[in-house]
Amino acid sequence: MKNIGIWMDQEKAHIVELMEEREKMQTLFSEMEFFNPKGGSGTRFKGGPQDVVQDSRYLEREKHQLAAYFEKIVNEIKDAENIALFGPAETAEKFRKELNDKYQSLGAKVRTVTKADSMTDNQIKALVRDFFGR
């Protein structure tokens, strides 16, 4: 039986595989760019000229990068029997939605999506072991 726990945020995913007598942990980085679109000089006066920032372009690029990140993770976990997702933000929930939409066989194996703050590698391993009762 191969149980996999994933602690993830937009920057990286720590994948912990629990097999019969051993465990393995690996880290995948998302290679996402974090955009901070800023307008130009503008003015401090009310009613002055305003710069228009094209947020849709940045959001579309982020969506594509997130999809590529999720695909990398799916390639690492495709032989899992049970999956547990952990993370501090909504990335784990987005990943579950992606699994349910595009990878239904894996989506059916997700047992939980739980909020978890930033942790050390050992804390992540312990969290996964505790969840799967080992």
Asked whether residue 40 carries a pLDDT value surpassing 60, the answer given is no
Q: Which of 60-64, 68-72, 75-79, 126-130 has the lowest mean pLDDT?
A: 60-64
The residues pairing with 112 across neighbouring beta strands, listed in sequence order, are: 84
The CATH classification number of 3-31+55-131 equals: 3.30.420.60
CB distance 4 to 83 below 8 Å: yes
**Positive or negative: CA dihedral 79, 99, 122, 26:** positive
Round to whole Å and give the CA distance between 14 and 20. 20
- Phi, psi for residue 11 in degrees, rounded to 5: -90, -40
Give the pLDDT confidence of 80-131 residue by residue, as tens digits. Answer: 999 999 999 899 999 999 999 999 999 999 999 999 999 999 999 999 999 9
CA distance linking residue 58 with residue 37, whole number of Å: 8
- Give the pLDDT confidence score for residue 134 in this predicted structure: 66
Pairing of strands 12-18, 23-29: antiparallel
Alpha helices in the chain (DSSP H): 55-77, 91-102, 104-107, 121-131
